[in-house]
Amino acid sequence: MALFVERPVEWFGDVPFALFCLLASIIFAGFLSVLLSTLLSVLRMRGMSLLASQASILNDCKKVLHQALENAVKWNVVPRNVAKLVTLPRVERYDAQTLTVEQAKRLLEAARGSRIEVMILVALNTGMRRGELSALRWDDIDFQNEVIFVHRTVNYVGGYGFVETEPKTRASKRKIAISETVLGALKVHRERQEQMRLKAGEKWCEQGIVFCNMYGGFMYPQVIQVQFHALLVKAGLPDMRFHDLRHTMATMLLEADVHPKKVQERLGHSTIAITMDTYSHVLPSMHQDVARKLDDLFKE
């Protein structure tokens, strides 16, 4: 559990900081209401807020702690369930940025020859999350049947290191069909990686990672984002997260009249409702297309 990370003081990101507030307030139950209010006030003063995905993690943590303390009350270990007094920080939904087809082509052109060129191409064609791409192994790619298998994801925890886990839901463990273009790019990427391995010599640590650093290990998320930002500037495109490439793929497919169920499966969403809710901004144009098609049918 994150509580036992060697140096939790360094782990003050949005979720870690808020979770630390939550845990600290429960540990010091006698000062709960005052302590929690103070810590969350500091959180707000620092301008920190939770995105929807981060809030989901924090809510899950709160549920677990709430149930644990409910049991403690029943067993007369503590007088009351202090988790009931916890008020989580505000949640702000991030408005995803997406690229048009032409903008995506400009990005790929700008990325040509860069270390994350193929990573961007695969992201735009598969909708894989950054953590899934970072954890991808060569053994996960079936070159003969042109399929990528998503088996794991990796995240970096400050003060601890890289942590590999299974994907967030059962649906996230999936297989994704890839095109000949993507397959060809991956083959070239593997050849370049072999040259990089020879250059690194004894410093190379073979882990079979597809998108690795210069020594064969995981790439830091910050490094990926910095390189990605530089390519956006080079292509003359607005700033965005690497994760927005996933949203770009989904939007392009929906606008191309690909069935939402197919998009859901490619993204690894647990339900189609999540897909439809996330990409509701695409639906108005889809409804207009349906209306026009119906109008054409009655005109025949």
% of the chain surpassing 90 pLDDT: 52
Q: What is the pLDDT of residue 55?
A: 58
Q: Rounded to an integer, what distance in angstroms lies between the CA atom of residue 151 and that of residue 135?
A: 9
pLDDT-based confidence at residue 257 (cuts at 50, 70, 90): confident
Q: What is the pLDDT of residue 30?
A: 45
Q: What is the pLDDT of residue 18?
A: 55
Q: Rounded to an integer, what distance in angstroms lies between the CA atom of residue 134 and that of residue 62?
A: 29
Kindly state the tokens that stand for 164: 């590999």
Residue 121 vs residue 15, higher pLDDT: 121
% of the chain surpassing 70 pLDDT: 72
43 pLDDT more than 70 = no
Q: Of the candidates 231, 200, 242, which has an alpha carbon nearest to the alpha carbon of residue 217?
A: 200
What are the structural domains of the chain? 2-85 (no CATH), 101-284 (1.10.443.10)
This prediction has a pTM of 0.71
pLDDT-based confidence at residue 169 (cuts at 50, 70, 90): confident
Taking only the tens place, the pLDDT of each residue in 72-125 is: 788 877 788 877 877 666 656 667 789 999 999 999 999 999 999 999 999 999
Taking only the tens place, the pLDDT of each residue in 195-228 is: 999 999 999 999 999 999 999 999 999 999 999 9
Q: Of the candidates 94, 114, 134, 95, which has an alpha carbon nearest to the alpha carbon of residue 232?
A: 114
pLDDT-based confidence at residue 3 (cuts at 50, 70, 90): very low
Q: Rounded to an integer, what distance in angstroms lies between the CA atom of residue 246 and that of residue 98?
A: 9
34 pLDDT more than 50 = no
57 pLDDT more than 90 = no
139 pLDDT more than 60 = yes
Cβ atoms of residues 185 and 120 within 8 Å? no
**Arithmetic mean of pLDDT over the chain:** 81
Cβ atoms of residues 176 and 167 within 8 Å? no
Q: Rounded to an integer, what distance in angstroms lies between the CA atom of residue 280 and that of residue 175?
A: 25
Q: What is the pLDDT of residue 220?
A: 95
Q: Of the candidates 216, 193, 250, 218, which has an alpha carbon nearest to the alpha carbon of residue 131?
A: 218
247 pLDDT more than 50 = yes
Q: What is the pLDDT of residue 277?
A: 82
Kindly state the tokens that stand for 238: 């607005």
Q: Rounded to an integer, what distance in angstroms lies between the CA atom of residue 223 and that of residue 204?
A: 19
DSSP for the chain, please give it. Answer: -GGG-S-GGG--SHHHHHHHHHHHHHHTGGGHHHHHHHHHHHHHHTT--B-HHHHHHHHHHHHHHHHHHHHHHHTTSSSS-GGGG--PPPB---------HHHHHHHHHHHTTSTTHHHHHHHHHH---HHHHHT-BGGGEETTTTEEEE--EEEEETTTEEEEE--SSGGGSEEEE--HHHHHHHHHHHHHHHHHHHHHGGG-----BSSB-TTSSBPPHHHHHHHHHHHHHHHT-----TTHHHHHHHHHHHHTT--HHHHHHHHT-SSHHHHHHHTGGGHHHHHHHHHHHHHHHHH-
